[in-house]
Structure 1
Amino acid sequence: MSSLRAKIQDVFNEPACEQNRGKDAKARRKGCSKPLTPGAAAGGCAFDGAKIVLQPITDVAHLIHAPLACEGNSWDNRGAASSGPTLWRTSFTTDLTELDVVMGQGERKLFKAIRQIKEAYGPPAIFVYPTCVTALIGDDIEAVCKRAAEKFGLPVVPVNAPGFVGSKNLGNKLAGEVLLDHVIGTAEPDDAGPYDINILGEFNLSGEFWLAKPLLDRLGIRVRACIPGDARYFDIACAHRARAAMMVCSTALINLARKMEERWDIPFFEGSFYGITDTSEALRQISQLLVKKGADPEILGRTEALIAEEEAIAWKKLAAYRPRLEGKRVLLNTGGVKSWSVVHALMEIGIEIVGTSVKKSTVEDKERIKQILKDDNHMFEQMAPRELYAMLSEHKADIMLSGGRTQFIALKAKTPWLDINQERQHPYAGYDGMVELVRQIDLAIHNPIWRQVREPAPWDCQPAVREELPSTKSETATLHVVQEFTGTTADDFGEC
């Protein structure tokens, strides 16, 4: 545990983090995350965060050394996609029981599980995740993994990030440290070139990376490794031979980007593939970094030609939606890179931003929002469900873009809602993704169901009764029956 404690302190003391630069050494070591309350998940534990970063490595077997419930807690909880291997979607766990814990059978059971996976699946590597239980009882995961690697002749990587050590974001960073210590730099490619890049912090949710990669392919830029979205173990092992890197989500893997720059001289920048302007700017910065690292400057001209062509196509498609969406008001309850990149993307087509969450955003993210919105009145660190409901029910927003956990607030307020977080079903990256995002917003806002659900319920309004008296005996009898069962008279009926 002493090595884990040192690793955590190293992660907290991250010089590339904007929030750390203004702190003294003592404050920096404490980190940025709020302390966890015993018994509270605080939005996800370190184990959950590590698995989120590493599980999209699609050809690796991910083995959870813990009771069964730990694997069921986080398996397949994000919409990452694979273009090939499906092993990452198979759940592996040692399924420790109380008897295993009492009798000290954890390490023996782990070694046996590694052997079974090797014989049945033959993966290029096995990642082993301890959790709170196995960390507390003192199972030596690193020793077992080292022995198994020697015995079976394949990398067995210990992911030492048990849940109790901190938050989900800390687990993200510890996963980056695992890749640095055990994976990156362990293999050499035979085809390294001057146009190789890494994409860091891209999870390929709903296949979003597949909308950006064709743009890079047309420029002759090869993605050496996308970490972690749709990744392969060998590609990550060779990631140290890339010439440049783009950081998509800095809150997750900023330590990975910074240390790769220090060790292998791979410069990086933070960019986004959300929105027309930001996608174009990302392509420009990638090309500029490659030129600085020795690539032919002619790529700059080809990049501008590609941008001009793709922007013209995208704006032509978006023109049909502008009259329908211009002036519509959006409440954005998300964080990270989406807190500013999606804001910019939506404002490009005339949509008004009434508020955006910056809970998981860096200082740089917040500065970008201020520059885009011209003030910080529309930024909020967190908003209680009651406040979100009040804003939506008072019609201060025409639609809310958020994650699945807050969708019911919007539905209760009878307001359109669109999922933009990890559970989303549509890719929104790149030029085509921006068009799809606008199309989905248009479909949500103009769905006729909202007009229907906002109408008064049938029991809240009563039909008007004709002023003249019933002309037949049957009509008179019917009116008497209604009065008998409801206790009303003809004078009680009014218009809805």
Structure 2
Amino acid sequence: MEAIKKTGFTVDVNSCGKEEPKSKPCPRPKPGEAAGGCSFDGAQITLLPIADAAHLVHGPIACAGNSWETRGSLSNGPQLSSLGFTTDLGEHDIIFGGEKKLLEAIRYIADRFSPPAIFVYSTCVSALTGEDIDAVCKQASAELGLAVVPVNSPGFVGSKNLGNRLAGEALFQYVIGTEEPPLVTDCDVNLIGEYNIAGEAWDIEKLLNQTGMRLHARITGNGRFKEIAGAHRAKANMIVCSRALIGLAVKMEKKYGIPYFEGSFYGAKETSFSLRQLAYLINNREVERRVDHLVEREEMRLMRELAPYRKVLKGKKAVLYTGGVKSWSVISALQELGVKVVGVGTNKSTDSDIARISERLGEEAIYIPEGGSSRVLKAVRERKADIVIAGGRNMYMALKEQIPFLDINQERHTAYAGYEGMIRLAKQLVYAMENPVWQMVCTPAPWDRGDGYDNS
């Protein structure tokens, strides 16, 4: 095949004169890619847990109600983020522009609620009509004297995971490094990608306090705007969900010299490793000593308290259908309880997540790369699983098929992180599998038993 070399391109003379770049361009959104959560949804998931900030959706009112408060992120302080603000764009705004309406909305929120910051989210409609939210936010910030942060993540640009990363970009560009924290110690750490689902961050913070470490910034579960703005003064970053915000940690290391690692608090082994790794990164011998003491004490306690649950769970089979860090870290927790994972979902996992899954399961388990209840059900039937551990959207499939089910995703109301979370996980697994309803639904109806039941 004859080809002509040009700068940056290889031209095939047999390809009708079309120039093809040597390297692939940035991936384009594919039709249907936003199924299960769009980019706008992902940005909200990441930023809404900042409890004292106001969150303003610049778009039609339906976008504001897309997923508001469907996650289990909790706050023990301000509740401003639970209020839904929207510019409610209509036909008139789409035709004549909604920037003036956006500015008025920002002014109203600042006057009525006095938040430390306002996050402004673009949507498909405002992005397609060319609304310049960056300029409006810059004008409002100068006028009002508070942070007004544009979040450019309209739903059509891609999936929920892309929205997570775009939210991280907004934090890095407009928030982190803009405030100096009132208190800084040599034992300060940040948690990145931890959303305080069901209060898990509170259990984690208790463990950190016992070791002498201080949680400097929560990014973003139960977070506060000013503490995130001062996150650049921490001594170490721990990425709890690598799929979402690993880019933020990488940029913080380059700009501020903060080392990071990817870890988990699901399961005793993962929790112990994460605590030890944090102590190593901050390079404090006293903290390392206290971590060793805590780990030894807690693992001995777990051995005693989990013994009766392990007797019930040993040898049970589970299909785990979740994503991100949970796709591999929950495997470790289940294996510690004696549960064998025979199927695992990988559709929301990074390459590093899948590598960790392979380390723990090898080739024995079924890998489920794409969504759909039918695929989960097929894995359950093929491997004769005893329980499905997945998100709420798969619950009804499991219950209709008379399969015990445990919710593991963001909508749940039970915290599974840390050593205490391990005990809760064991209890919930036993409760789910030993619920008397399963024996009842497998028992023939009285009129089918042939024992003289009169149904007249």
Q: TM-score, normalised by structure 2?
A: 0.92
Shift of 1:389: 2.5
Q: 335, 338, 344: which is aligned to 1:347? A: 335
Q: Which segments of structure 1 move beyond 4 Å, counting only runs of 4 or more?
A: none
Determine the structure 2 residue equivalent to 1:407: 395
* Amino acid aligned to 1:358: T
Query: What's the secondary structure of 2:308's corresponding residue?
Result: coil
Shift of 1:309: 0.9
Matches within 5 A, 1:327-338: 327-338=315-326
Measure the CA separation in 1 of the matches of 2:263 and 2:297. 21
Shift of 1:41: 3.5
Instruction: Pick closer, same or farther for the CA change 1:380–1:405 going to 2, 3 Å.
Output: same
Determine the structure 2 residue equivalent to 1:7: none
Query: What's the secondary structure of 2:65's corresponding residue?
Result: helix
Determine the structure 2 residue equivalent to 1:205: 197
Structure 1 residue 234 and structure 2 residue 226: aligned? Answer: yes
Measure the CA separation in 1 of the matches of 2:421 and 2:324. 18
Answer whether contact 1:200 1:248 (CA < 8 A) is retained: yes
Instruction: Pick closer, same or farther for the CA change 1:428–1:25 going to 2, 3 Å.
Output: farther
Q: 271, 290, 293: which is aligned to 1:302? A: 290
- More strand by percentage: 2
Measure the CA separation in 1 of the matches of 2:190 and 2:386. 38
Shift of 1:393: 5.1
Determine the structure 2 residue equivalent to 1:49: 42
Shift of 1:314: 1.7
Deviations 1:144-196 (A, max 9, x none): 11111111111111111111111111111110000011000001123212111
Structure 1 residue 247 and structure 2 residue 247: aligned? Answer: no
Query: What's the secondary structure of 1:227's corresponding residue?
Result: strand
Measure the CA separation in 1 of the matches of 2:76 and 2:183. 21
Matches within 5 A, 1:388-467: 388-392=376-380, 396-458=384-446, 461=448, 463-464=450-451
Query: What's the secondary structure of 1:26's corresponding residue?
Result: coil
Give unmatched runs, 5+ long, in structure 2: 1-20
Deviations 1:332-355 (A, max 9, x none): 011111111111111112111111
Query: What's the secondary structure of 1:157's corresponding residue?
Result: strand
Answer whether contact 2:212 2:290 (CA < 8 A) is retained: no
Query: What's the secondary structure of 2:270's corresponding residue?
Result: helix
* Amino acid aligned to 2:129: I
Structure 1 residue 322 and structure 2 residue 310: aligned? Answer: yes
Measure the CA separation in 1 of the matches of 2:199 and 2:371. 30
Answer whether contact 2:343 2:379 (CA < 8 A) is retained: no
Structure 1 residue 80 and structure 2 residue 70: aligned? Answer: no
Determine the structure 2 residue equivalent to 1:485: none
Measure the CA separation in 2 of the matches of 1:343 and 1:367. 13
Q: Give the total of aligned pairs.
A: 436
Q: 165, 168, 175: which is aligned to 1:176? A: 168
Answer whether contact 2:239 2:261 (CA < 8 A) is retained: yes
Instruction: Pick closer, same or farther for the CA change 1:434–1:462 going to 2, 3 Å.
Output: closer
Answer whether contact 1:388 1:409 (CA < 8 A) is retained: no
Determine the structure 1 residue equivalent to 2:345: 357
Answer whether contact 1:131 1:161 (CA < 8 A) is retained: yes
Deviations 1:468-488 (A, max 9, x none): xxxxxxxxxx9xx96xxxxxx
Answer whether contact 1:370 1:376 (CA < 8 A) is retained: no
* Amino acid aligned to 1:240: H
Shift of 1:458: 4.5
* Amino acid aligned to 2:259: P
Shift of 1:328: 0.9
Deviations 1:84-142 (A, max 9, x none): 000000000011111222233x1111111111111110000101111111111111111
Measure the CA separation in 1 of the matches of 2:133 and 2:221. 26
Measure the CA separation in 1 of the matches of 2:105 and 2:236. 38
Determine the structure 2 residue equivalent to 1:196: 188
Q: 355, 365, 376: which is aligned to 1:367? A: 355
Deviations 1:231-286 (A, max 9, x none): 00000000000111101111100110100000000010000000000000000000
Determine the structure 2 residue equivalent to 1:474: none
Structure 1 residue 91 and structure 2 residue 84: aligned? Answer: yes
Structure of greater Rg: 1
Matches within 5 A, 1:20-59: 26-27=23-24, 29-31=25-27, 35-37=29-31, 41-59=34-52
Measure the CA separation in 2 of the matches of 1:289 and 1:63. 37
Determine the structure 2 residue equivalent to 1:11: none
Measure the CA separation in 2 of the matches of 1:200 and 1:78. 17
* Amino acid aligned to 2:246: I
* Amino acid aligned to 1:30: C
Q: CA RMSD in A?
A: 2.0
* Amino acid aligned to 1:76: E
Between the two proteins, what is the percent identity of the paired residues?
50
Q: 125, 128, 133: which is aligned to 1:136? A: 128
Determine the structure 1 residue equivalent to 2:7: none
* Amino acid aligned to 1:190: P
Measure the CA separation in 2 of the matches of 1:464 and 1:246. 63
Instruction: Pick closer, same or farther for the CA change 1:376–1:266 going to 2, 3 Å.
Output: farther
Deviations 1:295-320 (A, max 9, x none): x3222111101111111112211012
372-381 vs 415-424, greater mean Cα deviation: 372-381
Structure 1 residue 63 and structure 2 residue 56: aligned? Answer: yes
Measure the CA separation in 1 of the matches of 2:348 and 2:96. 42
Give unmatched runs, 5+ long, in structure 1: 1-23, 467-477, 483-496
* Amino acid aligned to 1:35: P
Measure the CA separation in 1 of the matches of 2:451 and 2:54. 68
Shift of 1:211: 0.9
